[in-house]
């Protein structure tokens, strides 16, 4: 499983002021009005991040999602089979909506999927009173439209959050459970692989620094007892196993909006890295009922300690869609 992140290549997008990406996900299936397709031709769904301040509305019959951003400012997501009439026809439809005359040029700016398997077009249509920002993304014989409809006066205010949404778009490649997370500053998010939903790298500092690793892994059911999982992590640090479920070393369990959350931290008693450096693990277990999520930050002890508060905040951003 390797989600395919959108890499934005256009100068227009790169020039926008980037806000902190919130790597959370929304899964959207095919539009209910689309004709049935054979399983081999069913378009893969897209995932994206909707900013927390946007109010989700009931989508129209031709929409997958609809958001209210502010009075007279909305964002919508639509998906249609085929080319949905072609890029030029849709661009001219949008131009008419903002009071612009038709055009014969619908080149736009290019956006490409990271692995080159698909591409998208980006358009900015600015009228006297209304303006539209839109991206057209063809995937698996279907076409997705991400559209911001705003008053021209408020366009620049609405632009950054809409750009954040576009930068979060991924093409789904598996049925792995989903979770919404906010990436801490300074961490580098990478694609998950095998059992991992996601991986984050904490860059090394200094010439002898060691990069930290953060993993996010879902398992069905309760995922085993806290004692069992803690002892697995302790073994990695060459620590003796714990014997009792009420051992204080098993950390603290608190309520979470999606279940229960257990946080625990441990450090090795002996050096595990060069230059007499010890190792450490900060871990969290989020039990949601159907799925248990495991979060683990591992690396050199001083690095783990310095990022511990950030790790705890990261875990607490978790939201199950």
Same domain, 75 and 101: yes
Mean pLDDT (the chain) is 81
Inside any domain, residue 52: yes
pLDDT digits 0-9 by tens, 19-58: 333 333 333 433 333 333 333 345 566 777 788 889 888 8
pLDDT digits 0-9 by tens, 171-215: 765 566 788 888 999 999 887 666 788 899 999 988 888 999 999
Inside any domain, residue 76: yes
Percent of all residues in the chain with a pLDDT value above 70, rounded to a whole number: 81
Domain boundary residue, one of 171, 198, 230 = 171
Same domain, 254 and 166: no
Mean local confidence (pLDDT), 4-12: 36
pLDDT digits 0-9 by tens, 262-276: 999 999 999 999 999
For position 30, what pLDDT does the model report?
Answer: 34
Same domain, 301 and 274: yes
Indicate the pTM of the whole model: 0.49
What single-letter DSSP state applies at residue 316?
H
For position 36, what pLDDT does the model report?
Answer: 35
Q: For residues 114 and 173, is the Cβ–Cβ distance under 8 A?
A: no
| Letter string b/e over residues 189-218, b meaning 16 or more CB atoms within 10 A of that residue's CB | bebbeeebbbbbebeeeeeeebebebbbbb
pLDDT at 15 over 60: no
Inside any domain, residue 262: yes
Mean local confidence (pLDDT), 281-302: 93
Could you tell me the pLDDT band of residue 124, with boundaries at 50, 70 and 90?
Answer: very high
Q: Give me the count of residues in the chain.
A: 321
Highest mean pLDDT among 11-15, 109-113, 269-273 belongs to 269-273
Same domain, 101 and 227: no
Same domain, 11 and 88: yes
Same domain, 279 and 165: no
The domain containing residue 76 runs over which residues?
Answer: 4-171
Q: Look at 106-115, 120-129, 142-151 and tell me which has the smallest mean pLDDT.
A: 106-115
For position 268, what pLDDT does the model report?
Answer: 94
**Which domain CATH number covers 205?**
3.40.1000.10
Q: For residues 253 and 262, is the Cβ–Cβ distance under 8 A?
A: yes
For position 37, what pLDDT does the model report?
Answer: 36
Q: DSSP states of 186-241 as a string?
A: T-EEEE--TT-SEEEEE---STT---EEEEEEEEETT-S-HHHHHHHHHHHTTPPP
pLDDT at 164 over 80: yes
Same domain, 153 and 225: no
CA pair distance 66, 146, nearest whole angstrom: 10
Count the domains in the chain. Answer: 2
pLDDT digits 0-9 by tens, 57-87: 888 878 888 999 998 899 999 988 888 888 9
Inside any domain, residue 182: no
- Nearest Cα neighbor of 165 from 10, 53, 288 is 53
H/E element, 136: strand 130-139
Residue entry with tokens 């949905």: 84
Same domain, 266 and 162: no
CA pair distance 203, 178, nearest whole angstrom: 25
Same domain, 158 and 210: no
For position 26, what pLDDT does the model report?
Answer: 38
Q: For residues 179 and 218, is the Cβ–Cβ distance under 8 A?
A: yes
pLDDT at 155 over 90: yes
Same domain, 309 and 206: yes
């Amino acid at each position: 499983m390797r989600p395919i992140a959108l890499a934005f290549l256009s100068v227009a997008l790169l020039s926008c002021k980037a806000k902190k990406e919130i790597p959370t996900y929304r899964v959207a299936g095919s539009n209910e009005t689309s004709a049935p397709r054979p399983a081999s031709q069913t378009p893969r769904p897209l995932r994206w991040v909707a900013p927390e301040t946007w109010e989700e509305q009931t989508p129209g019959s031709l929409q997958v999602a609809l958001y209210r951003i502010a009075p007279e400012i909305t964002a919508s997501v639509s998906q249609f089979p085929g080319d949905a009439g072609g890029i030029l026809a849709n661009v001219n439809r949008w131009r008419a909506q903002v009071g612009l005359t038709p055009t014969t040029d619908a080149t736009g700016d290019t956006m490409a999927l990271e692995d080159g398997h698909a591409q998208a077009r980006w358009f900015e249509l600015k009228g006297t009173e209304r303006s539209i920002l839109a991206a057209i993304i063809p995937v698996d014989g279907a076409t997705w439209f991400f559209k911001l409809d705003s008053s021209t006066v408020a366009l620049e205010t609405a632009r950054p959050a809409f750009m954040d949404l576009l930068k979060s778009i991924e093409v789904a490649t598996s049925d792995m459970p989903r979770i919404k997370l906010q990436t801490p500053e300074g961490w580098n998010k990478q694609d998950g692989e095998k059992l991992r939903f996601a991986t984050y790298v904490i860059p090394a500092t200094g010439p002898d620094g060691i990069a930290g690793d953060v993993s996010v892994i879902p398992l069905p059911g309760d995922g085993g007892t806290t004692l069992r999982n803690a002892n697995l992590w302790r073994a990695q640090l060459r620590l003796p196993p714990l014997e009792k479920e009420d051992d204080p070393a098993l950390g603290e369990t608190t309520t979470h909006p999606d279940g229960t959350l257990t946080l625990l931290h441990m450090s090795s008693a002996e050096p595990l890295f060069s230059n007499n450096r010890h190792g450490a693990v900060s871990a969290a277990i989020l039990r949601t009922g159907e799925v248990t999520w495991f979060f683990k930050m591992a690396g050199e002890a001083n690095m783990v300690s310095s990022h511990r508060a950030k790790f705890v905040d990261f875990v607490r951003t978790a939201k199950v869609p």
